[in-house]
């Protein structure tokens, strides 16, 4: 009898204090130490990107010809005014890395924003129209999925020509299938629910059903995919920059910074290792955050 | 089984045609026309331009050109490189063994370390070992492999001088091409140091290319294993008093490896994409390096052919994995 009693109290408590969805998300997210580290790092990167003009000691493209390839300040021969040393043409590494943060986040925001919004529209269209439109959209996505990610990006660059903006378009196209498939799958699952039928009976048009009724309930997996896609976007943009197909010099993009310093790999370790560490940390941060969000949002994994 | 195979194949045909369409469109989406793109910055007089347009059949209606392209591609004719005038198919076949050898080594490296690491992490869930494996694989998963490759060179080649920096074999050895796989060819050549040299050239590229698949496989194996370990049949096997090792090998592992198989298939794409970076860094004469160079030289037939052939490989391997999946797991075969 004791058990049924305690169950009752639990149920009552549940009714008396329903946690808001956001509070619940935060509670689950906070338990995950990795996710918190990721969030902190992401916050730090956003801060650096927003206030790069004030934080960075120098301009990222100003060349100090009297101190070319100066090592970091703590190394023998380093100069105190260049904390992380200078690159082969005498630009301050720290300033370039800080401005690189801004560029990497911008690449992520633009390419994922583009990919996600087109993906949502295509996915909802496929889910709601069915038939030939659905098959057509999904076949197109199959085609894009058959091409290895970086290869597809390279193909897009081959058409559009190298450059930062084109690299973002390329990355958006590479990530598109993931968003389309996710949106379609969750929209199809939601479409037959009672609340959707109810608002259809109440006279809601297809567009309203798609974007106002169904979409908000499909957002959880999209947010997770967006966060994880952000890290892939940063990684792919750096890879394209490294191959000389993305951002062009003197833009302080991490991947192209690495590429332009290649010949100094033996003599000046800092010009090669520092941009790589920046890329790794940024990618790691978004992956940790994405994993944490997925665990917190996925009801299957809850307890 | 045969109808299952035919069904899978049937789904692939539209995908494959879609890829040919995409690749065909690629050359027509370039600003200007292909002949202009070939002529480069200098331009070309209009008589020569018109002559070349006719020569390449670019004056015909687009649908006619497309059908022609598909039929030629089906026969293995992918045109000629603008730079070398060599057949694209020939160039691809010359370079493919190098990429194949490297990819095979990389996936072997990933499997032999990734799967055991995933199993151990699942068995020792929430222990130091588990956190260690997961931490390392998360880092591996987030690693920019071009940078990772440079670090490997910096440490093992520059600092320690253990491994060579680039190429497939030292210049003094020139084994006759029999299989195209340097490890085998160097053994067949009978020269004492040749195999050693080939193997030492492979080590760093293998690690660089294998790291992401390794991390992915370790994560996948762990989660598949954790799922299986919670199943009733595993508990039943334990209850019968079987040793943990026997439960693992006879009951858990077989079922856990089914999803892992799919992940292995998906790694082919990762390997081909990674080959673009790895081969560029290690001057590995494979198809990745070939394509990057082609883009820089605006050698469009090569880019076109390379993309088509890479996509074909990805599709073919995933079809094979699907088949194996059907063999291993009869439940899949009988679904619609």
- Return the CATH number at A161: 1.10.3720.10
Query: How far is B138 from A231, CA to CA, in rounded Å?
Result: 12
Query: How far is A129 from A118, CA to CA, in rounded Å?
Result: 16
> What pLDDT is attached to residue A87?
83
Q: Which two tokens stand for residue A161?
A: 């020509």
Residues of B in contact with A229 (CB under 8 A): none
Best mutation target among B273, B280, B306, B316 (most A Cβ atoms within 10 Å) is: B273
The strand pairing partners of A86, in sequence order, are A92
- Whether the predicted pLDDT of A303 surpasses 50: no
Residue A293 placed within a domain: yes
> What pLDDT is attached to residue B241?
85
Segment B298-321 mean pLDDT: 87
Interface of A with B in 114-173 (CB under 8 A): 139-140, 142-143, 146-151, 154-155, 157-159, 161
Segment A124-150 mean pLDDT: 90
Where are chain B's structural domains? 88-333
Instruction: Test B150 with A262 for CB contact under 8 angstroms.
Output: yes
- How do residues B187-213 score in pLDDT, each as one tens digit? 888 777 888 888 889 999 999 999 999
Mean pLDDT score across all residues of chain B: 85
Task: Please tell me if residue B295 touches chain A, with a CB cutoff of 8 Å.
Answer: yes
> What pLDDT is attached to residue A27?
83
The strand pairing partners of A92, in sequence order, are A86
- How do residues B132-148 score in pLDDT, each as one tens digit? 999 999 999 899 999 99
> Where residue A4 falls among pLDDT bands split at 50, 70, 90?
very low
> What pLDDT is attached to residue B295?
84
Handedness of CA B323, B328, B330, B331 (dihedral sign): negative
Task: Please tell me if residue B280 touches chain A, with a CB cutoff of 8 Å.
Answer: yes
Query: How far is B237 from A6, CA to CA, in rounded Å?
Result: 35
Mean pLDDT score across all residues of chain A: 86
> What pLDDT is attached to residue A2?
47
Q: What is the chain B residue with the closest CA to A277?
A: B147
Segment A13-17 mean pLDDT: 57
Provide ipTM, 2 decimals: 0.85
Query: How far is A240 from A243, CA to CA, in rounded Å?
Result: 5
> Where residue B282 falls among pLDDT bands split at 50, 70, 90?
very high
Query: How far is A201 from A192, CA to CA, in rounded Å?
Result: 13
Residue A1 placed within a domain: no
Instruction: Test B138 with A142 for CB contact under 8 angstroms.
Output: no
> What pLDDT is attached to residue B41?
58
- Inter-residue contact A255 to A246 (CB < 8 Å): yes
Handedness of CA B32, B38, B40, B46 (dihedral sign): negative
Residue tagged 């996915």 (tokens): A123
Segment A109-121 mean pLDDT: 96
Task: Please tell me if residue A293 touches chain B, with a CB cutoff of 8 Å.
Answer: no
- How do residues B155-195 score in pLDDT, each as one tens digit? 888 888 888 888 888 877 777 777 888 888 888 887 778 88
Residue closest to B133 by CA, chosen among B150, B115, B149, B147: B115
Query: How far is B202 from B213, CA to CA, in rounded Å?
Result: 17
Residue A88 placed within a domain: no
Best mutation target among A147, A274, A286, A301 (most B Cβ atoms within 10 Å) is: A147
Inter-chain Cβ pairs, chain A and chain B, closer than 8 A: 122
Instruction: Test B310 with A154 for CB contact under 8 angstroms.
Output: no
Residue A133 placed within a domain: yes
> Where residue B33 falls among pLDDT bands split at 50, 70, 90?
low
Q: Find the CB nearest A146 among B29, B154, B314.
A: B314
Q: Find the CB nearest A142 among B15, B30, B144.
A: B15
H-helix or E-strand containing B153? Answer: none
Quick check: bond before B284 cis, omega within 30?
A: no
Give B324→chain A minimum CA distance, Å.
19
> What pLDDT is attached to residue A3?
46
Residues of B in contact with A268 (CB under 8 A): none
The top-scoring range by mean pLDDT among A29-38, A49-58, A82-91, A282-291 is A282-291
Residues of A in contact with B151 (CB under 8 A): 273, 276
> Where residue B29 falls among pLDDT bands split at 50, 70, 90?
confident
Instruction: Test B26 with A158 for CB contact under 8 angstroms.
Output: yes
Query: How far is B290 from B297, CA to CA, in rounded Å?
Result: 11
- How do residues A28-71 score in pLDDT, each as one tens digit? 888 888 889 999 999 999 999 999 888 888 888 888 877 777 78
Best mutation target among B25, B141, B147, B165 (most A Cβ atoms within 10 Å) is: B147
Q: Find the CB nearest B311 among A146, A258, A291.
A: A146
Query: How far is B92 from B58, CA to CA, in rounded Å?
Result: 24
How many Cα atoms are found within 13 Å in the side-chain-facing hemisphere of B136?
15
Give B126→chain A minimum CA distance, Å.
13
Task: Please tell me if residue A266 touches chain B, with a CB cutoff of 8 Å.
Answer: yes
Best mutation target among A146, A238, A271 (most B Cβ atoms within 10 Å) is: A146
Task: For chain A, give the number of residues.
Answer: 303
Best mutation target among A32, A143, A174, A234 (most B Cβ atoms within 10 Å) is: A143
Fold exhibited by the domain B88-333: MetI-like fold (1.10.3720)
Which residue range is the domain that position A273 belongs to?
Answer: 106-301
> SS3 for A17-77, per residue?
CCCCHHHHHHHHHHCCHHHHHHHHHHHHHHHHHHCHHHHCCCCCCCCCCCCCCCCCCCCCC
Query: How far is A278 from A255, CA to CA, in rounded Å?
Result: 10
- Inter-residue contact B158 to A265 (CB < 8 Å): yes
Q: What is the chain B residue with the closest CA to A140?
A: B18
Task: Please tell me if residue A227 touches chain B, with a CB cutoff of 8 Å.
Answer: no
- Whether the predicted pLDDT of A14 surpasses 60: no
Instruction: Test B276 with A142 for CB contact under 8 angstroms.
Output: no
Q: Which two tokens stand for residue B103?
A: 């990819």
Q: Find the CB nearest B310 among A151, A239, A276.
A: A151
- The total number of structural domains in chain A stands at 1
Residues of A in contact with B147 (CB under 8 A): 258, 272, 275-276, 279-280
Residues of A in contact with B18 (CB under 8 A): 139-140, 142-143
Q: Which two tokens stand for residue A193?
A: 């629910």
> SS3 for chain A, per residue?
CHHHHHHHHHHHHHHHCCCCHHHHHHHHHHCCHHHHHHHHHHHHHHHHHHCHHHHCCCCCCCCCCCCCCCCCCCCCCCCCCCCCCECCCCCEHHHHHHHHHHHHHHHHHHHHHHHHHHHHHHHHHHHHHCHHHHHHHHHHHHHHHHCCHHHHHHHHHHHHCCCHHHHHHHHHHHHHHHHHHHHHHHHHHHHCCHHHHHHHHCCCCHHHHHHHHHHHHHHHHHHHHHHHHHHHHHHHHHHHHHCCCCCCCCCCCHHHHHHHCHHHCCCCHHHHHHHHHHHHHHHHHHHHHHHHHHHHHCHHHCC
- How do residues B248-278 score in pLDDT, each as one tens digit? 887 888 788 888 888 888 888 889 989 999 9
3-class SS of residue B58? coil
- Whether the predicted pLDDT of B8 surpasses 80: no
- Inter-residue contact A94 to A84 (CB < 8 Å): yes
Query: How far is B138 from B215, CA to CA, in rounded Å?
Result: 7
> What pLDDT is attached to residue A280?
94
- Using CA atoms of A133, A135, A138, A144 in order, give the dihedral in degrees to the nearest 10: -100
- Inter-residue contact A219 to A156 (CB < 8 Å): no
Instruction: Test B18 with A139 for CB contact under 8 angstroms.
Output: yes
Residues of B in contact with A231 (CB under 8 A): 142
């Amino acid at each position: 009898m004791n058990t049924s009693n305690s169950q009752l109290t639990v149920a009552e408590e549940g009714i008396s204090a329903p946690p808001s969805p956001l509070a619940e998300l935060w509670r689950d997210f906070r338990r995950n130490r990795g996710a918190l580290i990721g969030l902190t790092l992401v916050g730090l990167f956003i801060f650096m990107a927003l206030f790069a003009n004030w934080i960075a000691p120098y301009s990222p493209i100003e060349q100090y010809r009297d101190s070319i390839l100066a090592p970091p300040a703590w190394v023998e021969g380093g100069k105190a005014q260049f904390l992380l040393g200078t690159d082969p043409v005498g630009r301050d590494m720290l300033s370039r890395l800080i401005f690189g943060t801004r560029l990497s986040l911008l690449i992520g925001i633009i390419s994922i924003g583009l990919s996600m919004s087109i993906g949502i529209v295509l996915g909802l269209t496929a889910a709601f129209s069915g038939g030939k439109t659905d098959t057509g959209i999904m076949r197109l996505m199959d085609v894009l999925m058959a091409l290895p990610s970086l290869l597809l990006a390279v193909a897009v660059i081959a058409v559009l020509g190298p450059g930062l903006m084109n690299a973002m378009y390329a990355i958006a196209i590479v990530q598109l299938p993931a968003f389309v498939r996710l949106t379609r799958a969750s929209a199809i699952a939601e479409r037959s629910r009672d609340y959707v039928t109810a608002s259809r009976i109440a006279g809601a048009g297809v567009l309203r059903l798609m974007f106002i009724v169904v979409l908000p309930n499909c957002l959880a997996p999209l947010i997770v995919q967006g966060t994880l896609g952000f890290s892939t976007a940063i990684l792919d943009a750096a890879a394209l920059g490294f191959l000389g197909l993305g951002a062009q010099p003197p833009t302080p993009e991490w991947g192209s910074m690495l590429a332009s310093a290649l010949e100094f790999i033996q003599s000046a370790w800092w010009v090669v290792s520092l941009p790589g560490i920046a890329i790794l940390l940024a990618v790691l941060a978004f992956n940790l955050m994405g994993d944490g969000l997925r665990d917190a949002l996925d009801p299957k994994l809850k307890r | 089984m045969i109808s299952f195979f035919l069904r899978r194949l049937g789904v692939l045909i539209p995908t494959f045609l879609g890829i040919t369409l995409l690749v065909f469109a690629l050359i027509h989406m370039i600003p200007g026309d292909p002949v202009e793109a070939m002529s480069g910055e200098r331009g070309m007089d209009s008589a020569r331009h018109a002559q070349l347009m006719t020569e390449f059949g670019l004056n015909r209606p687009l649908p006619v050109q497309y059908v022609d392209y598909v039929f030629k591609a089906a026969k293995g004719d992918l045109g000629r490189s603008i730079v070398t005038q060599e057949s694209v198919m020939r160039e691809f076949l010359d370079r493919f063994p190098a990429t194949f050898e490297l990819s095979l080594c990389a996936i072997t490296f990933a499997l032999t370390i990734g799967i055991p690491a995933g199993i151990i992490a699942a068995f020792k869930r929430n222990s130091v070992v588990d956190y260690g494996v997961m931490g390392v694989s998360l880092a591996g998963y987030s690693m920019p492999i071009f940078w990772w490759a440079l670090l490997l060179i910096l440490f093992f080649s520059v600092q320690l001088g253990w491994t060579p920096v680039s190429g497939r074999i030292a210049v003094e050895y020139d084994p006759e091409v029999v299989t195209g796989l340097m490890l085998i060819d160097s053994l067949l050549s009978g020269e004492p140091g040749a195999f050693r040299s080939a193997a030492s050239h492979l080590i760093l590229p293998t690690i660089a290319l294998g790291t992401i698949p390794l991390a992915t496989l370790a994560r996948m194996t762990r989660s598949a294993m954790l799922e299986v370990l919670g199943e009733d049949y595993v508990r039943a096997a334990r209850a019968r008093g079987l040793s943990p090792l026997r439960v693992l090998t006879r009951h858990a592992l077989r079922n856990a490896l089914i999803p892992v198989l799919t992940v292995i298939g998906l790694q082919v794409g990762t390997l081909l994409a990674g080959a673009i970076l790895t081969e560029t860094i290690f001057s590995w004469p494979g198809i990745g390096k070939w394509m990057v160079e082609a883009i820089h030289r605006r050698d469009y037939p090569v880019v076109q052919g390379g993309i088509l052939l890479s996509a074909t490989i990805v599709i073919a391997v995933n079809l094979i994995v699907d088949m194996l999946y059907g063999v291993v797991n009869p439940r899949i075969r009988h679904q619609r």
